[in-house]
Amino acid sequence: MNGHLVAAAWLAILVGLAHSLLGERLIFSRLRRRRQFVPTDGGTVLREPHVRILWASWHALTVLGWAMAGAMLLMASEPALTTPQIAMLRIMALAMLAAAALVVIGTRARHPGWIGLLLVAALTCLGTAP
């Protein structure tokens, strides 16, 4: 069992869970009228279709992170990683690193999400070391 990949996967799951739950609580709860499932009230800034796609994209990002975590967990159980698996994991690490950079740039490093994403990237890279 590749401990680095297991840790990266579980951290990615936790980051995604925090992302979706806190997004719902702190952002999307304010954009809902009554008890709607999908928020639609963008006030004077966003029209309804924009709020809907923002909400869908927000949660799609979490789902994609969980899919990456699932792939990491599957590969973590392999006795030895193949060259294509190593390449896939490095691509995942670069994606997490790019996501961390976007959060740093977009929030001027005030949002802590970049730390979790950076740790996932680092653990994933460590999981590909021979």
- Tens of pLDDT, residue by residue over 46-65, are 899 999 999 999 999 999 99
Mean per-residue pLDDT for 88-106?
97
Tokens of 5: 């990949």
Let me know how long the chain is: 130
Write down the pLDDT at residue 130. 80
How far is CA 83 from its chain centroid?
Answer: 25
- pTM of the predicted model, to two decimals? 0.90
Q: Is the pLDDT of residue 40 over 90?
A: no
Q: Are 9 and 1 in contact (CB under 8 A)?
A: no
Q: Are 5 and 70 in contact (CB under 8 A)?
A: no
Mean per-residue pLDDT for 12-40?
91
Write down the pLDDT at residue 33. 83
